[in-house]
Amino acid sequence: MPDPFYITTPIYYVNSHPHIGHAYTTIVADIFIRFRTLFGEETYFLTGTDEHGQKIAESAAHSNISPQEFVDKMSQEFRDLWPHLHIENDQFIRTTDPEHKALVQRALQYIYDKDEIYLKQYEGLYCVGCERFMDEDELIEGLCPDHQKAPQQYQEENYFFKMSAYQNWLVQTIEKNEDWIYPQRYRNEVLQMLKKPLDDLCISRPKTRLTWGIELPFDTNFVTYVWFDALLNYPNALDWPNGELYKKYWPNAHHMIGKDILKTHAIYWPCMLKAAELPVFKKLVVHGHWKSEDSKMSKSLGNVVDPLVMKDRVGVDALRYFLARNMSFGDDANFTEELMVTRYNGDLANNIGNLINRSISMSCKNFENQIPPKGEFGDLEQELHRSFMEGIEEVKDYLLSFYLHRALEKIAFMSSLVNKYLDTAAPWKLAKQESDRKRLGTVLYTALDAVRIIVQLLAPVMPKKMEEAWQSLGLPLAQITEAQFDIGVLPEGLTLPKPAPLFPKVKAIVPAEPDKKQLEEKTNTNEPESSEITIDQFCKMELKVGKVLSSERVKKSDKLLHSQIDLGEEKPRSIVSGIAEFYSPESLVGKTVMVASNLKPVKLRGVLSEGMILCTDDGTQLTLVEPSAEAAPGTMIR
Ligand code: ME8
């Protein structure tokens, strides 16, 4: 039996209302918890709110209320939202809880007594949005890339934690544990960050600048830096060092976070744990960001998606399904109402909902509202059973390794296999001949038994809808959380209640006031609804052989290279590519590459890019696609 499983979400800042991004992390954590419970593991799920620091103090001042009143009100909004989204956390921690404050002070005092905290004069650039000092090379044109604001220059005396002493240990820990930071690309990103020497971490704010925080236990003129306070919530909630929960759950702690807070969790946090002599967490699970209509969600752009509005459109459970299914774990994803409705109608109404509905309706109609006798399974059934047994194992593997979208893709595939099975076995034809009655029973039983498995696999994602489906199979509700994935164990003869459609089709969205130009562009490209493209569309893409003449790093970027590439034209093309983590500029020169040459030119970090070098991408590594070296620059690729 695996160790009891502990999952945490970030504790959210209360300076803004909860949005779809916060909902995503918390829903996904809830889904993983429910799956682990279904597979028989003991679990504990923590979420909460982060309530100290400059940005909260500024927001409270803005609202003309005291920080305490402000955080009480805003924290409640998060706490109230989760049950509406069918999230069942075991605990909700607030950094203003007295128990949390006491444990932060305990950790600080412990590290201070070990002589790992010292006072010094400091000058640096502080981004209030990120609540951290930033290195100059993290800025783009002087602005924080996440908050699009110039950081403030501070010069003050502060306490510092000797984080730099842990750099070698941290690099070794990451290198030894391949899966410690997941997915791989974020592990690579952290190792890249750690190529530069680590600075010591400023862990205090003088009260002359900020009073809204936890007082340092060893100097009452200062409050604790908000991240040093916030990160400790994870073991604090379990009441370290002696709490029963801590002993039981900390050894298998999983932190689920968005990519925006990778540095604080993958660098600051393990060093803090090591200094406090607490074991490091088991795994950091990092996801990408939801964008709204392909742009970053931001208050100033007015495109922040409200989860409550979206749940009213398709229902809570379908919203949960969409979020879990449409984001390839680790990548960014686009949120539009149109995409959500398309997913709903495609996967839920037409596939899974239709399967549940038609299997139950046909059984009700032909077997007097009862589950038919299973009879004898033939070749068709055996084939379906084999696919199901493989499918169930695959789904489990995906889930245990946090590949959520893949697991859901597989479950939807299993459902379409049963729909196909019904189309082939054609029970409506069998129903016409009394002599086929036994076979009819077997076919409908097989479909209902497969529905039972699909419903159970989907219950962690859509708990309420799947409870309805479970009951419409005549099964007792209590059994939905007892994993029973054996084939053919659905009891015959159970009474089936009258079925009602589980996922009625939702009308497709017509975007409000379509932009005329966009509409024209869309019509011209004849964009199809599926991911398939026509040969004509493919032929519009121009791919050519290129030879790299020179290459250099783009200033202030760890990822970009700027190359001059000979495409057999009058002058070389200027092309910017995100491959600096995998290729040095020198190693590129002289290489023969494949280039998408008719892309609209764009500027990346102020540098003109007139095409794209093609690479394979396995999620961790980009590798150049190199055509035969004999092909001359400019040769077309077909
Ligand atoms: O960073 N897409 O809090 P925060 C997906 N208090 N997820 C998103 C998202 C988006 N567009 N936007 C936000 C903080 N998130 C700190 C954390 S933890 C010790 C302290 C989610 O309110 C995602 O999980 O800014 C991201 O990491 C988190 O909200 C940031 O929440």
In tens, the pLDDT along 334-387 reads: 999 999 999 999 999 999 999 999 999 999 999 999 999 999 999 999 999 999
Catalytic residue, from 86, 130, 254, 547: name it: 130
CB hemisphere CA count around 584 (13 angstroms): 2
Host H or E run for residue 179 = none
Neighbouring CB atoms inside 10 A of 181's CB total 23
Round to whole Å and give the CA distance between 51 and 407: 35
Q: Does the structure show a pLDDT above 80 at 556?
A: no
Is residue 242 packed enough to be buried (19+ CB in 10 Å), middle (13-18) or exposed (0-12)? Answer: exposed
CA of 21 to the centre of ligand 1 (A): 7
Q: Does the structure show a pLDDT above 60 at 515?
A: no
CA-nearest residue for atom 28, ligand 1, is 258
Q: What is the pLDDT of residues 11-57, one digit of tens each?
A: 999 998 999 999 999 999 999 999 999 999 999 999 999 999 999 99
Q: Which atom of ligand 1 is nearest to the CA of 15?
A: 22
User: What Rg do the C-alpha atoms of the chain give, in angstroms?
Assistant: 28
pLDDT of residue 476: 94
Closest CA to 510 of 353, 350, 344, 336: 336
Closest CA to 12 of 62, 81, 67: 81
Catalytic residue, from 52, 86, 101, 144: name it: 144
- For the chain, the first-to-last Cα distance in angstroms comes to 54
Q: Phi, psi at residue 50, to the nearest 5°?
A: -105, 115
Active site residue 100: no
Neighbouring CB atoms inside 10 A of 282's CB total 18
Round to whole Å and give the CA distance between 87 and 537: 43
Residue 552 DSSP SS3: strand
Amino acid at 466: M
CB 593 within 8 A of CB 614: yes
pLDDT of residue 524: 42
Q: What is the pLDDT of residues 386-416, one digit of tens each?
A: 999 999 999 999 999 999 999 999 999 999 9
Catalytic residue, from 263, 296, 385, 396: name it: 296
Look up tokens 């069998």; give the residue: 430
CA-nearest residue for atom 8, ligand 1, is 21
Active site residue 22: yes
Confidence class of residue 498 from pLDDT cuts 50, 70 and 90?
confident
Residue of 9, 11, 15, 25 to mutate, ligand 1, most atoms within 8 A of C-beta: 25
Q: Which domains does the chain have, with CATH numbers?
A: 5-287 (3.40.50.620), 331-481 (1.10.730.10), 535-624 (2.40.50.140)
Catalytic residue, from 52, 86, 101, 127: name it: 127
CA of 288 to the centre of ligand 1 (A): 10
Q: Does the structure show a pLDDT above 60 at 519?
A: no
Q: Cβ < 6 Å from ligand 1: which residues?
A: 10-13, 21-22, 24-25, 50, 230-231, 233, 257-258, 260-261, 289-290, 297
Averaged pLDDT of the chain = 91
Residue 34 DSSP SS3: helix
pLDDT of residue 114: 97
Q: Which atom of ligand 1 is nearest to the CA of 332?
A: 2
CA of 25 to the centre of ligand 1 (A): 8
pLDDT of residue 537: 66
CA of 574 to the centre of ligand 1 (A): 36
Confidence class of residue 525 from pLDDT cuts 50, 70 and 90?
very low
Confidence class of residue 309 from pLDDT cuts 50, 70 and 90?
confident
Active site residue 364: no
Here the tokens at position 403 are 């590949």
Q: Rounded to an integer, what is the distance from CA 342 to the centroid of its chain?
A: 20
Host H or E run for residue 96 = none
CB 68 within 8 A of CB 79: no
CA of 128 to the centre of ligand 1 (A): 15
CA of 477 to the centre of ligand 1 (A): 35
Residue 344 DSSP SS3: helix
pLDDT of residue 530: 41
Please give the order of strands across the beta sheet that includes 333-335: 295-296, 290-292, 333-335
pLDDT of residue 533: 63
Active site residue 299: yes
Quote the pTM value.
Answer: 0.80
Range with the poorest average pLDDT among 289-303, 427-441, 563-577: 289-303
Q: Does the structure show a pLDDT above 50 at 523?
A: no
Catalytic residue, from 73, 299, 420, 429: name it: 299
DSSP 569-591: SSSPEEEEES-TTT--HHHHTT-
Long-range contacts of 202-208 (CB under 8 A, 24+ apart): 202/122, 202/124, 202/133, 202/158, 202/159, 202/160, 203/108, 203/117, 203/158, 203/159, 203/160, 203/161, 203/228, 204/158, 204/159, 205/54, 205/158, 206/156, 206/157, 206/158
pLDDT of residue 518: 46
CA-nearest residue for atom 19, ligand 1, is 231
Q: What is the DSSP letter of 39?
A: T
Q: Does the structure show a pLDDT above 90 at 275?
A: yes
Active site residue 615: no
Confidence class of residue 623 from pLDDT cuts 50, 70 and 90?
confident
Q: Does the structure show a pLDDT above 50 at 527?
A: no
CB hemisphere CA count around 21 (13 angstroms): 26
- For 167-179, what is the mean pLDDT? 97
Closest CA to 50 of 276, 235, 231, 203: 231
463-472 and 354-366 helices, crossing angle to 10°: 20
pLDDT of residue 411: 98
Neighbouring CB atoms inside 10 A of 627's CB total 16
Active site residue 265: no
What share of the chain has pLDDT > 90, as a percent? 73
CA of 256 to the centre of ligand 1 (A): 10
Active site residue 147: yes
CA-nearest residue for atom 18, ligand 1, is 10
Q: Does the structure show a pLDDT above 50 at 278?
A: yes
pLDDT of residue 619: 56
pLDDT of residue 528: 34
Here the tokens at position 553 are 């790093």
Distant-in-sequence, close-in-space partners of 292: CB < 8 Å, separation ≥ 6: 301, 303, 304, 305, 334, 335, 336
Q: What is the pLDDT of residues 559-616, one digit of tens each?
A: 789 999 998 887 889 999 988 888 888 888 888 999 999 888 877 777 888 999 998 8
CA of 261 to the centre of ligand 1 (A): 7
Round to whole Å and give the CA distance between 91 and 238: 10
